[in-house]
Amino acid sequence: MAGTKSGGDKLGRGDYDAEIDKAAAFLEGFFSSSSLPSDQAAKRFPYREQLTLLAHREACTLRVDLDEVSEEDPVLAEAACENAPRYQRLFADAAARLLPAFKQREIVHKDALDVYLEHRLLLEGRRGGGGGAGERGAPQARPPQNNFPPELMRRL
């Protein structure tokens, strides 16, 4: 029974990763045409705009319209309607994965939590490369961000 559960977890995680990829593709690729005449029509990428604002800490929410998701991927929209908490986390994970690509300039720390997280990550990074790690073997291979829950590291 334990083997079955383990295999199910792997399958579920793979499905989750595939769905994150679908959500990320939607956030990056969805566009709407402007209401201008066809010779002046331009594509507008509303989710790219939101991600840029999030990356620069000028916004703290990502609003996803399920009607727009349904236009692109009806199966994803239906699944989001059936299990909203899961897909809220899924879209947050997809956005967090995409944010570094939308950062166009250095951000200014807005509050004490920003400063605390940055210092904590710097401290963890120094510990990973410190002399104590040599006594136990190879330095810690995983990034310091993995020591904290994604909900704490995410600012959206």
pLDDT digits (tens, 9 = 90+) for 51-94: 999 988 888 899 999 999 999 999 999 999 999 999 999 999 99
What per-residue confidence (pLDDT) applies to 41? 62
Is pLDDT at 32 greater than 80 in this prediction?
yes
| Residue 148 CB-half CA count within 13 A | 15
Question: In this predicted model, what pLDDT tens digit does every residue of 83-141 receive, in sequence order?
Answer: 999 999 999 999 999 998 998 888 776 778 778 878 887 887 788 654 444 444 445 55
| 32 bridge partner residues | 44
Report the candidate in 68, 62, 117, 66 with the shortest Cα–Cα distance to residue 95: 62
Confirm if 32 and 46 have CB atoms less than 8 A apart.
yes
For residue 156, CA distances in Å to 51, 56, 60, 83, 102 come to: 10, 11, 5, 20, 14
> How much is the pLDDT for 5?
38
In this prediction, residue 120 carries a pLDDT of: 81
Q: What is the pLDDT of residue 151?
A: 73
- How confident is the model at residue 118, as a pLDDT? 80
pTM over 0.85: no
Confidence of residue 145 (pLDDT cuts 50, 70, 90): low
pLDDT digits (tens, 9 = 90+) for 7-18: 333 335 669 999
Length of the chain (residues): 156
> Which of 20, 32, 100 lies closest to 71, judged by CA?
32
User: What are the phi and psi torsion angles at 52 (to 5°)?
Assistant: -65, -45
Specify whether the CB–CB gap between 47 and 54 falls below 8 A: no
Supply the pLDDT for residue 101. Answer: 92
Contact in structure between 63 and 114 (CB atoms under 8 Å): no
Please name each of the domains of the chain with its CATH number.
15-34+41-125 (3.30.1640)
Residue 35 has pLDDT above 80, yes or no: no
